[in-house]
Structure 1
Amino acid sequence: MQKLAALILVDVQPDFMPGGALACHEGDAIVPGIDRLLRRRVFEHTVATQDWHPRGHISFASTHPGSKPFQSIPLHGHPQTLWPDHCVQDTPGAALHPAIDWSPADLILRKGSNPDVDSYSAFRENHGPGDTRPSTGLAGWLRERGVNEVYVAGLARDVCVLWTVQDALALGFKAHVLWDLTRPVTPDSDATTRVTLKAEGAAVVETIEQL
């Protein structure tokens, strides 16, 4: 039986895998489980986000002379981590992971394509304070289809997955995190991420078998 809830798969791309330009801790470990989940077609709607940066993107440390990856600068009202160049448009590292059958996805949402604005969340850009951040259009797309509940998996647990869940909750969606199908940039963040998610009202699901 399908769930009317939507599955949101965040940035499952080669550049976030071990050996990639911005490797997440054990990022490749989630690939088989996500592929199995998609093949089960548990969800009526599936959204895949794709980090899709132009060369020279504002979030790249290389764009800021004298800066190094993982430094932080203020940008558009938020602290901006400067990342290694990653998910550059039309490069193999920016593709959706080739070991996953993406055919069940009915929306591919590319984000981070504005050279001057980063996009962690699937719902809103990293520009401006709180609720004034510009929408990606995903919330409206989901509501048009009667969806008021989302399950989120992907990369990275402590950045784009976290921001996506936080925005889903702020926009009135019930949100679940498929914890075993996420991985962080660094596992040192896991305790804080879990506390933050639960404090803000997200359900943390330890295994896809609970679906």
Structure 2
Amino acid sequence: MSKKMKVLLLVDIQNDFCPGGALAVPDGDEVVAIANELMRSGKFDVVMATRDFHPSDHLSFAVNQGKSPFEEGDVGGITQTLWPAHCVQGTAGSEFHPDLELDRVDVFVPKGTDREIDSYSGFFDNGHKRETTLRSALLSHATFNRVDKLQDIELYVCGLATDYCVAATVRDALELHIPTTLVVDGCRAINMAPNDEVNTLRELASRGATLTSSRELLTSERAQPVHRTERVHDGMHP
């Protein structure tokens, strides 16, 4: 039987997506305690965290297109919602939530750094033209842990927001044939339209994602980590 590597992926648990932030997700800060508990559990071989990290002139910002937030606009040839400026490089809003235990994170993955196109997913930009460093980091740690391929990685995802960046990340993971579990109570949704969260969860399950709760995950048979690898920095993270 092939070895498995369990990876916890935290998506965009940043100040601007938490209450008081520029693009606050309702109750977004409630995911922090769950993320910390999961990281402390010892169930994961590697912990990774994505970080929305935009230049100030990013075209997904409504102000940079002369429009109002939440209007639609063209970003990189894709029609999408235009957002309030958020997670701008060098601002407090782009930092991780102060209570998130960053010393437990092994790999940090920036996204949304190209002003011309947005990147909801932790894997690719919205046009699937360029990859982030996430897949290569997974492969690197898989090799270190003597895991043969992406399909032998078990990916567990939580963070913000369920109906945008979390969902996009899960979709891409499944497209890459990575077995993926969404920790539902470790996420919060924007719900721009009624039932967005419910519909998103239903869609992700139909694509093959497993839905679970942190409690179910933490009370299941304790997994023994293969090996805890060293943290990997990309120069833009703590």
TM-score, normalised to structure 1, is 0.91
Note if 1:123 corresponds to 2:123: yes
Return the letter of the residue paired with 1:133.
Answer: K
Larger radius of gyration: 2
Show the 5 A alignment for 1:164-179: 164-179=169-184
CA contact (8 A) 1:38 1:102 kept: no
Query: What secondary structure is seen at the aligned counterpart in 2 of 1:103?
Result: helix
C-alpha offsets along residues 3-24 of structure 1, whole Å, 9 cap, x if unaligned?
A: 7221110000010011110010
* CA–CA separation in structure 1 for the residues paired with 2:166 and 2:40: 22
Query: Aligned partner of 2:211: which letter?
Result: V
Larger mean CA deviation between 164-173 and 179-188 belongs to: 179-188
**Match for residue 17 of structure 1?**
18
Are 1:157 and 2:162 matched, yes or no?
Answer: yes
Q: Which residue of 1 aligns with 2:211?
A: 204
Per the alignment, in what secondary structure is the counterpart of residue 178 of structure 1? strand
Is 1:142 aligned with 2:147? Answer: no
Q: Deviations over 1:30-59 (max 9, x none)?
A: 111111221223211111011101112111
1:193 CA displacement: 0.5
How far did residue 150 of structure 1 move?
Answer: 0.6
Give the letter aligned to residue 177 of structure 1: L
Distance 2:91 2:20 in 1: 15
Label 1:75 to 1:91 Cα distance change in 2 as closer, same or farther (>3 A).
closer
Confirm whether residue 55 of structure 1 aligns to residue 56 of structure 2: yes
For the residue of structure 2 that corresponds to 1:159, the secondary structure is helix
Give the superposition deviation at 1:73.
2.1
SS across alignment from 1:73: strand
CA distance in 1 between partners of 2:41 and 2:154 (Å): 19
CA distance, structure 1, for counterparts of residue 32 and residue 129 of structure 2: 31
**Residue 72 in structure 1 maps to residue 77 in structure 2:** no
Q: Which of 191, 196, 210 is 1:189 aligned to? A: 196
TM-score, normalised with respect to structure 2: 0.81
* Distance in 2, Cα, partners of 1:75 & 1:53: 13
Once the two structures are aligned, what percentage of the paired residues are identical? 40
Where in structure 1 are there 5+ consecutive unaligned residues? Answer: none
Q: Which sections of structure 2, spanning at least 5 residues, go unmatched?
A: 219-238
1:104 Cα deviation (Å)?
A: 1.8
Number of matched pairs: 204
